[in-house]
């Protein structure tokens, strides 16, 4: 049986913004949040700039 999923909360999205601006790697952010790196990669691809350097949490929520 598949596990299901839980959407990223606004708090998690704000934390991603914060950690990304501090220069943390995608894997380090994922580990800190207890999320899969692929989840964060998708989130940044969908709601970040093309370079993934600027992530806008308010754009995602």
- At residue 51 the predicted structure's pLDDT band, cuts being 50, 70 and 90, is low
pLDDT of residue 17: 87
pLDDT of residue 33: 96
Rg for the chain, CA atoms, rounded: 11
pLDDT of residue 45: 85
- Mean pLDDT, to the nearest integer, of 27-49? 90
Asked if residue 31 has pLDDT above 90, the reply is yes
Please report, for the chain, the start and end positions of each structural domain, with discontinuous segments joined by +: 10-60
pLDDT of residue 37: 95
The DSSP call for residue 52 is S
Asked if residue 13 has pLDDT above 80, the reply is yes
């Amino acid at each position: 049986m598949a596990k299901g999923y839980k959407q990223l909360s606004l708090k998690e999205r704000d934390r991603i913004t914060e950690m990304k601006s501090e220069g943390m790697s995608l894997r380090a952010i994922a580990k800190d949040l207890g999320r899969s790196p692929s989840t964060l990669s998708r989130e940044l691809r969908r709601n970040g700039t093309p370079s993934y350097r600027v992530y806008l949490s308010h754009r995602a929520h």
